Chains A and B, each alone.
Chain A
Amino acid sequence: MEPMVAIFWPAGEEVLQTAAQYGIKNVLVYGGPGSQHMTYQDYVAMRMKIESYDLKLAAIEGGFTPQLDYHDVMFGGPKQDELIEDLLNQVRDMGRAGIPIYGYNWMPNSWGRAQPTIVRGGALGTGYDYDWENSRRPSTFGKDMDEDTMWDALEYWIKAVTPVAEEVGMRCGIHPDDPPVPQRGGVPSIFRNFAAYKRLVEIVDSDYNAIEFCQGTFSEMPGEDIYEMIDYFGKRNKILYVHFRNVSGKAPSFNEEFINTGYVNMKKAMRTYRDAGFTGNFIDDHCPLMVNDDDFPGNLGGYRSRLFAQGYIAGVIESVKKEVEYGGPVDMSAVRKGASS
């Protein structure tokens, strides 16, 4: 278990040097198939640039699925086989270049939010409300799409990509639908609950068919227990890495929070990963917008907000590892009793 930082590519020197200075040894780059087209040589150059700062290119994260060009892969259209062949070639290039993990999603409408919310100290967290979105989002394809068709196409894809991932040694995993609601613009959000992920990992029983575990989104799933899901998939070695962010509650209405002001007990979550035998990395993912923050070349949140989350992540990882030899955290009820006696 180690901290990881997620950045856009190409990366400037400042962000790589920042990661090196703060001891954040693992780097995730947003990209891969469907973003700017990168060749085998581009991936090798990316990895070497990152390694030149004594950092590790630990994962690439992206998603071809929100792009119209690739929709036949998700809905089983006429160009399905041709597109999959192209994607598999890109997956081979990434794997051969030494990229160990590829995280992607299955969201034709990408991710979405509604109005932002004021959080701690007047900072801004993203917000979501199902009715708000539904009243504004037009139908994506002019008709409601069929969920079974999407599952069929997904199974076809998983059966095609998993052997290639195994062959080149690059583990692949899917990010949940964020927000995890029934549908958006007439397109079913198929990765919106625990059951969908159990179904996914059983399509092909392989470490190379896994999950990009956005803990934030899993925490937003109505009716599900976040700790149970961490435990279940952690024990089965299905978690590639974690988006370690926090939220106020679950769909249909929630907002993002600072890492330690949401409803999820992040200490308990981290202990659950540890006890399940998880050994991967944790990224800050989205961070609230803070006063006068400096733009960060990555996801939501500037340098300051992100480094707060990174400090928190480093501390909770260190603590949860070290507390094992002490037999757990300090029993504060005993301390208080001792003080009063």
Chain B
Amino acid sequence: MGLNSSSNREALRFMAQLGVQDVVLNTPPVPTKNGKWELGDLIGLKSGVESWGLKLTAIENTQIDMRHHLISGGPRFDEQLENMIETIKAIGNAGIPMYTMSWRYPRYYRTGHVDIGWGALGTAYDAEVENWPSVIDWEISLDRAWECLETWVKEATPVAEKYGVRLGLHPVDPPMPEIGGVPSLLINFENYKRMIDIVDSPYNSILLCQGSFSQFAGADQENGESIYDMIEYFVKRERVLYVHFRNVSGTVPKFHETFVNTGHVDMYKAMRIYAENGFNGFFMDDHVPMTIGDSSWGHRSKAYANGYIQSLIETVTDTSLYGLH
């Protein structure tokens, strides 16, 4: 089990009280120096988390302007490739065992919010409303986009193995074929199979954002490419680092987020598949709905999701997360 992005002291203490053990920091405020992160800053980040009895298990994303040419084949591709590889080395030297990132540019976005009951708000996406302008001033073909990804995986994976950092790629969210003039790759089962085959190594893995996978076209159908099929396939191959355990209603081109136990995915069934296939990573709450009276970070809503996640893990595996019974 694990959590989340804020690194302030109150949030870390709150998470420790909720029973969280592994912390993931999403785009932490590490300064970018000459286009890369440096060891000293990462050590400071890690010790800040460890001082609350927690473990900094993963960093999720660097600043997007460290890697946008890398993802979308821009003129600074080679420079960013080199700097990101240096950053992976620094993460490994700092003793942080995972680095995950979203292979997409522009970043995650939504088009609005939906009332998911009595004024609770879930984020929503509708392709008819979405209207991203082009974010690049160069052209990139689908083939070139794959070439960029393949180059990254082939160059970064051996370095990651050497420095002890497992790498995982997060899907494009929303999983639409093209956004802002950049072709999206990690938007379906087939492309993820292709991605993990680029280099067959546990260091070339997946951040299984179950929410985003559940938004893939057809993920809610019994077609051999359902969310359950995808979980089973990648967990069996030991290519899932950890899971964003959230739920959604619908798939692209139109969907919205829900409470963890009210979307189209049967979370109990999903949890069984992880367990039956020997998954030993962790689960985090990720996005949660906005509810009345909650803090802007969503303490209440996060507490609810964490309670739910813990009970599913414990009940499905019939064990105690705390070794009690």
Q: Mask for B278-299, Cβ within 8 A of A = 1, else 0?
A: 1000000000010111100001
Q: Is A53 an interface residue (CB 8 A)?
A: yes
Among listed A83-91, A170-178, A258-266, interface-contacting one: A258-266
B238 closest partner in A (C-beta): A339
Among listed B8-16, B102-110, B183-191, B194-202, interface-contacting one: B8-16
B120: chain A residues at CB < 8 Å are 21-22
Structural contact, A315 and B303, CB atoms closer than 8 A: no
Segment 41-96 of A: residues with Cβ below 8 Å from B: 53-54
Select B306's contact among A120, A308, A320, A322, beta carbons within 8 Å: A308
Q: Is A236 an interface residue (CB 8 A)?
A: no
Q: Measured between C-beta atoms, what is the minimum distance from B282 to chain A in Å?
A: 16
Q: Is A23 an interface residue (CB 8 A)?
A: yes
Q: How far is the CA of A308 from the CA of B261 in the complex (A)?
A: 14
Q: Is B222 an interface residue (CB 8 A)?
A: no
Q: Is B305 an interface residue (CB 8 A)?
A: yes
A319 with B268, Cβ < 8 A, contacts A21-B117, A21-B291, A121-B17 known: yes
Q: Measured between C-beta atoms, what is the minimum distance from B299 to chain A in Å?
A: 5
Q: Mask for B302-313, Cβ within 8 A of A = 1, else 0?
A: 011111111110
Structural contact, B278 and A308, CB atoms closer than 8 A: no
Among listed B56-64, B77-85, B315-323, interface-contacting one: B315-323
A267 with B314, Cβ < 8 A, contacts A261-B322, A338-B278 known: yes
Q: Is A326 an interface residue (CB 8 A)?
A: yes
A124 closest partner in B (C-beta): B17
Number of interface residues of B (CB under 8 A): 54
Q: Is B129 an interface residue (CB 8 A)?
A: no
Q: Is A268 an interface residue (CB 8 A)?
A: yes
A307: chain B residues at CB < 8 Å are 300-301, 303-304, 307
Q: Is B259 an interface residue (CB 8 A)?
A: yes
B15 closest partner in A (C-beta): A121
Structural contact, A332 and B19, CB atoms closer than 8 A: no
Q: Mask for B1-13, Cβ within 8 A of A = 1, else 0?
A: 0000000001001
Q: Is B33 an interface residue (CB 8 A)?
A: no
Structural contact, B315 and A315, CB atoms closer than 8 A: yes
A323: chain B residues at CB < 8 Å are 268, 315-316
Q: List 11 A-B contacts (CB under 8 A).
A: A18-B300, A21-B120, A291-B17, A292-B14, A315-B310, A316-B315, A318-B268, A320-B315, A323-B315, A329-B317, A332-B317
With A17-B118, A267-B314, A313-B311 given, can you name 11 additional A-B contacts, CB distance below 8 Å? A21-B118, A21-B120, A23-B259, A266-B314, A292-B10, A308-B307, A312-B307, A318-B261, A326-B272, A329-B316, A332-B318
